[in-house]
Structure 1
Amino acid sequence: MFVTFEGGDGSGKTTQATLLAERLRREGEEVVLTREPGGTELGERIRELLLHAGHVAPWAEAALFAASRAQHVDEVIRPALERGAVVVCDRYLDSSLAYQGIARGLGLEAVLELNLSAVGGLLPDRTFLLVIDPGESRSRLGGAPDRIEREDDRFRVLVDEAYRELARRFPGRIVPLDARREPTAIAEEVYERLRSGP
């Protein structure tokens, strides 16, 4: 099973990915908990460029994310799935569709094609989208913001709208969840939805 968590910065994706991985491990599952960009040595180097470099052109940004993702799938995700592990990933290709394809205006179809080629067509079995007002998500961010977190409020609204569009477009895979609730309540819904199937 391949499960991903998506949402704007500060929506609680990382928390939910961790809670699900911990619960499945307690049940005896082998779980690979990973993140994007990153997850491999190459991916972590690309992450540093993407999040802490100066200006990055939109198509360069999309291509770097896709390169990191290609390595991630080849080195971590696909081997784990082939041996029967559960993969839980904090962000995957829907992030590129929302941020670069829609919010940056590169085109959803163009960015989807790039990413499907990069990952050999591998899509998650289930994607949980943490939906939260862009203003509230901004207030949740702690520490020094990275290059993408420093984007203005207009960009945050575009990302939020983009994710909602993806949920409408791919309703069989993407499950929107209200991220304003207590993390434990959200985690319980995630678990129940996974166990009950589509």
Structure 2
Amino acid sequence: MSTPALVKSALPFFIVATMGALGGTLAHFLLALPAGVSEIDWSFKLPVEAALGALASTIFIFLLANTDRNDASRLLALSLISGFFWKPVIDAGANYYNKIGDAGDVAQFGEKTNGIQKIEQRLSTGNLSDEEAIPLIIDSAEQLNSLWGSIEDRNLKSKAARNYESLISGINNEDVKKVIEKSISAERLRQIELYTQEGLLP
């Protein structure tokens, strides 16, 4: 990419970040001025809030809102506002990021439950011996245990719990069920049961 093209592609980010920094700066001034100019922290809080404003505007414009960058007046106004209200915007961005991560974890959770079902089927048909199947099942169940702990969104946790319930109800080999349940902590098994029954924890 040529230098002029690179500058052109980076220009919207620079404008958005600059307006966001201005918004963060204004927020600091408006909060500090009622107590007097002496309360303005020029050395730390002001530059930090300007940086947070720049971050918030970038998150809002390019991630949360995906605003049309051709509408200059709207772009500038939203960048300034999102920089001014940097904390809720950054919190929203963090929640958005967490949900993306949770969705990936739930997808992996479903893949692991499907994998265990396939291993159990091969075990029941004699295509795998106990010595081959059990370590594979333990490994997958331990990964289910880890993935459950990393999912934060309540609706996605309910989906993972239903996947687990479907796995257990579809297994006929009681020894395999015991291996799975021993590989998952008692507290997480209790949580899974609650999510399966009620969709949420009390």
TM-score (normalised: structure 1)? 0.31
Q: Where is the strand percentage greater, Structure 1 or Structure 2?
A: 1
Q: Where is the helix percentage greater, Structure 1 or Structure 2?
A: 2
TM-score (normalised: structure 2)? 0.30
